[in-house]
Amino acid sequence: MVSITADVSGLIKSWQIQAGMCFLFMPHTSASITLCESYDRHSRTDVENYFERTVPEGASWYRHTYEGPDDSPSHIRTTLSQSSISIPVDNGQLGLGTWQGIYLFEHRSAPHTRKVQVRALKIS
Amino acid sequence: MVSITADVSGLIKSWQIQAGMCFLFMPHTSASITLCESYDRHSRTDVENYFERTVPEGASWYRHTYEGPDDSPSHIRTTLSQSSISIPVDNGQLGLGTWQGIYLFEHRSAPHTRKVQVRALKIS
Amino acid sequence: MVSITADVSGLIKSWQIQAGMCFLFMPHTSASITLCESYDRHSRTDVENYFERTVPEGASWYRHTYEGPDDSPSHIRTTLSQSSISIPVDNGQLGLGTWQGIYLFEHRSAPHTRKVQVRALKIS
């Protein structure tokens, strides 16, 4: 998991949205957008380990295997987490909880370049 | 799971939104917002039991443990369910299915005070 | 999983939305809306098999059983996946990734008629 909280907060400030909704969208099928505890790195380690243990690489029954043993589990892990998240904006700031961060959750084992789409709508 | 359907419906009515979108957001990392069958209480009991069985307290490999044995599983359960949900509003009412209710899904074992953020946008 | 990508794209075009957000909502508690890889059918087969293996029919501890052995797992599978998804619209088109499709993920074993709610908001 890689934090993108500062990137998204920066966009909302640069767009000068005072009140509204921020929409995040992941246009990939092997990575997710996840909200998680930002204080202790081990809380994310445990989430990451859970996904790796529960949806392991190379299960004998996978049929979608030609892109490697980590591809099918990455699609399953994406389905189990989120590709789109909507966050309120108030007083020009994301309405996240105190210890809540926004993370790009990469599910493949090799590094990938990912783009997250960010949009916002004002509520008047 | 605690029903919040009436609370959200009441807000939409008080805001006099005829047509639009309602956005729910959970600013906590150890509780979710879940849509579930509202008719039979046992349907939610089964969902609750599934989460408790699949993401148990006190697994030997958890590293995020200083807030108690129920903290790390509560983050994992949150990641597996939803922190944000968008529901259409039509004719001044939430577009839920007949037996579909909105639930606050608490993942920690001790009682917590939780706030759910509710926003709405009109579609003209 | 049944593809609904063309249906949703067609609506966005007919509404002549150039830039904005598209909101999908499933008003049922035993089917989901899922984004998944659209290229290889086996990638969806693996996701389907994962859900069937991980949340099996007829577990001995299910209490919500009077609608059949596939009803309680269908609610659990819905909770583990998505009932609402928000997708950006740019240049009149859904901002999906190249190989990303929108799927109705039916969780019951018998055929059901399902309606997916689609809404859109313009961003000016």
Residues constituting chain A? 124
pLDDT at site C46:
98
CB–CB of A123/A20 below 8 Å?
yes
pLDDT tens figures, B1-15 = 999 999 999 999 999
Query: Which chains does chain A touch, 3 or more C-beta pairs < 8 A?
Result: B, C
Nearest chain C residue to B33 by CA distance is C79
Q: Measured between CB atoms, which of A43, A85, A99 is closest to B83?
A: A85
Lookup: tokens for A97: 């909880």
Alpha-carbon distance of B98 to A44, in angstroms, equals 37
Indicate if the pLDDT at residue C124 is higher than 80: no
Q: Which residues of B touch C15 (CB under 8 A)?
A: none
Residues constituting chain B? 124
CB–CB of A100/A37 below 8 Å?
yes
The one-letter amino acid at A1: M
Q: Region C79-95: what's the mean pLDDT?
A: 97
Q: Which residues of C touch A76 (CB under 8 A)?
A: 46-47, 50
Indicate if the pLDDT at residue C110 is higher than 80: yes
C84-119: b or e for each residue (b if 16 or more CB lie within 10 Å)? bbbbbbeeeebbbbeebbbbbbbbbeeeeebebbbb
Q: Region C43-58: what's the mean pLDDT?
A: 97
Indicate if the pLDDT at residue B124 is higher than 80: no
Q: Which residues of B touch C25 (CB under 8 A)?
A: 86-88, 95
pLDDT tens figures, B8-35 = 999 999 999 999 999 999 999 999 999 9
pLDDT at site C37:
95
Write the ipTM.
0.96
Question: Which chain B residues have any C-beta within 8 angstroms of a chain C C-beta?
Answer: 21, 34-37, 40, 42-43, 45-47, 49-50, 53-54, 80-82, 85-88, 95-97, 99-100, 121, 123
Q: Which residues are within 8 A (CB) of A86 and not within 5 positions of it... i.e. 6 or more apart? A: A21, A22, A23, A24, B23, B25, B84, B86, C86
CA distance A74 to chain B (A): 14
The torsion angles phi and psi of B8, rounded to 5 degrees, stand at -70, -45
Alpha-carbon distance of A25 to A21, in angstroms, equals 13
Q: Which residues of A touch B71 (CB under 8 A)?
A: 43
Alpha-carbon distance of B34 to B52, in angstroms, equals 15
Contact C76 B46 (CB under 8 A): yes
Q: By three-state DSSP, how is residue C90 classified?
A: strand
Position B50 confidence tier, pLDDT thresholds 50, 70, 90: very high
Q: Which residues of C touch B42 (CB under 8 A)?
A: 63-64
Q: Which residues are within 8 A (CB) of A61 and not within 5 positions of it... i.e. 6 or more apart? A: C46, C49, C53
Indicate if the pLDDT at residue A124 is higher than 90: no
Nearest chain C residue to A72 by CA distance is C43
For chain C, what percent of residues have pLDDT higher than 70?
100
Contact C35 A75 (CB under 8 A): no
The one-letter amino acid at A21: M
Question: Which chain A residues have any C-beta within 8 angstroms of a chain B C-beta?
Answer: 21, 34-37, 40, 42-43, 45-47, 49-50, 53-54, 80-82, 85-88, 95-97, 99-100, 121, 123
